[in-house]
Chains A and B, each alone.
Chain A
Amino acid sequence: MTGPLLPSAPPAKPWLKRHRWLLLRRFNQLGILAMFILPPVFGGSLVTGTLSSSMTLDILPLTDPLLLTQSMLSGGWPALTGIVGAGLVLMFYAVLGGRVFCSWVCPVNMLTDFAAWLRRRLGLRSGARLSRSLRWWLLGLVLLLPVVTGAMVWEYVNPVSMLHRGLIFGFGYAWLILAAVFLYDLLIVPRGWCGHLCPVGACYAAIGAAAPVHITALRRDQCDDCMDCFSICPEPQVIKPALKGAAVGRGPIIDSIDCTKCGRCVEVCDREVFGLALGRVRSDGFGAAPTVG
């Protein structure tokens, strides 16, 4: 929803306050990119490699667990740095929430967020419907293909590594794949790639399934149904059970593993309905631990 705020809403928050999480995320995403891209320019070696596998300051290895799994499924045993690197990434996202990768690290997110922003700006509301569970099917496929073919098939088309590798090592025709993702999101399926298809995001969602960090609609009684959060959210289906669940006795915590913790619902809400919840969540959506506003 791009129009002015509803008349019933309280005075509009200043722009900076409405975009503070977004700015932090972009700072994080671009900062990570810069750490990869700048070393060759300055002759240093802060971080080398790509998001697929990297080495920071010659001491900290980080490896994408999904990629390493594919490598192992096609018959290769990883080196020690690969195992340690994948373990560290697993632990990090298991604690913070898997899809934090999607909204805070992955460079494709900037592209698909841009497509979603353009959609709102241009008032493109139509789009094909697609099951959001398709990504799980694709994840299965990504893991099955190395077993069957012995090749790392997904890496021939994976837009995530194509973009990151392209920015560091050069694109070739890889930009075509990213253009396809952008146009697909813009014209065919809203939030089509990250929200429906991407098996990398699905994998991270599974990794962070038990993470103790959640967004919560803790002041849901304040909600005036302005729909700002629904229209900005990349996975709007995760909001409703928490925001509107009071009537059926469900708690306010958004516990869907699809939530990317991008924080946009928190900042666009003029009634400050949303906040951050730390700690374990019961199956009814209530938390046992203290809630941080």
Chain B
Amino acid sequence: MPSEAPTSRQRRDFLTGLAKTAASVGLIGLGLGLYSQRASSLPAWALRPPGARPEDDFDGTCIRCGLCVRDCPFDMLHLARLGQDIPTGTPYFIAREAGCEMCEDIPCVKACPTQALDHSLTDINDADMGLAIVSDQQACIAFHGLRCDVCFEICPIREEAITLEYRPSAGAGGHDLVIPVVHPDRCTGCGKCEEACILEEAAIKVLPRHLLQGALGAHYPLVWNAQQREGGASVALDAAHRTTPATALRTLSSPTT
């Protein structure tokens, strides 16, 4: 079909139409982008499944399919619904309601069609869903001298992620204490301790690791650690410094032993 050359009027209409559409779509994009920035923040009380990449990456990678949720044999994972404070459609769990049971074959990670749950995680003990902290020593009854070791007993990384430390009574008439201590290098953040805590409101909680854990900074090395790596201490340390922090605490607080 022969077509006539467009008049300047037609060209003008076409270009303004194009500009209109582009502007509208741009506005939609701006709105969507800003909304997503707000909607993509994960509250500290919601934890990701094992192997989840750092939150920013996770939000971009997870396609919200729910396969991990379906493949969890313990049904402790949920998909966030629109209106919740959690990015819509993404998987999460709440430690206090049901923690991760740390399946050896990690079916949730295997089910993930993306790398939102990192498939290089093959040993569940290397998982990092968060970090437990005895967040309220006033509430924890172990700090009142009562014998409660529920969090210690239920911890799947037994005697490594949570240990019980003995603290003799500080004064006459006091109780000896057996208190739970979390070891950040072994804790996977599975949440079983928080789930099991017998208190009305758990005194041990699992939170995203970056909210809890400190970092020393490269400019301030611990001299004695460096010297140990070099092949032994050059200075003879006193008894308290030679031991681990936990035993040091025990030694310091019980001069008799």
Contacts and interface: CB of A to CB of B under 8 A. Distances in A.
Interface in A179-211: none
B64 A52 contact: yes
A154 B32 contact: yes
A82 B111 CA distance: 10
Nearest to B112: A79
Interface size class on chain A is: 35 or more
A48 B75 CA distance: 13
B65 interface: yes
Interface in B41-89: 53, 56-57, 59-67, 69-71, 78-84, 87-89
B113 interface: yes
Interface stretch (B2-10, B22-30, B147-155): B22-30
A168 B66 contact: yes
Given A145-B33, A152-B60, A134 B114 contact: no
A74 B33 CA distance: 13
Given A54-B65, A82-B114, A149-B37, A71 B60 contact: yes
Contacts of A172: 80-84, 88
B137 interface: no
A70 to B, nearest CB: 8
Interface residues on B, range: 35 or more
Contact of B115 (A79, A162, A177): A79
B36 interface: yes
> Which of B17, B33, B39, B84: most chain A Cβ within 10 A?
B33
A146 B22 CA distance: 18
Contact of B81 (A149, A150, A169): A169
B88 A156 contact: yes
A157 B71 CA distance: 25
Contacts of B125: none
B227 to A, nearest CB: 41
Given A75-B61, A76-B116, A134-B25, A171 B81 contact: yes
B222 to A, nearest CB: 36
Contacts of B80: 172
A276 interface: no
A50 to B, nearest CB: 5
Contact of A138 (B17, B25, B64): B25
Given A76-B61, A169-B81, A174 B33 contact: no
B67 A55 contact: yes
Given A151-B59, A156-B32, A162-B88, 19 more contacts: A45-B70, A49-B111, A52-B64, A67-B64, A71-B62, A71-B63, A76-B57, A76-B115, A76-B116, A134-B25, A137-B21, A140-B25, A145-B29, A146-B60, A149-B60, A156-B40, A170-B81, A174-B83, A174-B88
Interface of B: 1, 17, 21-22, 25, 28-29, 32-33, 35-37, 39-40, 53, 56-57, 59-67, 69-71, 78-84, 87-89, 111-116, 119
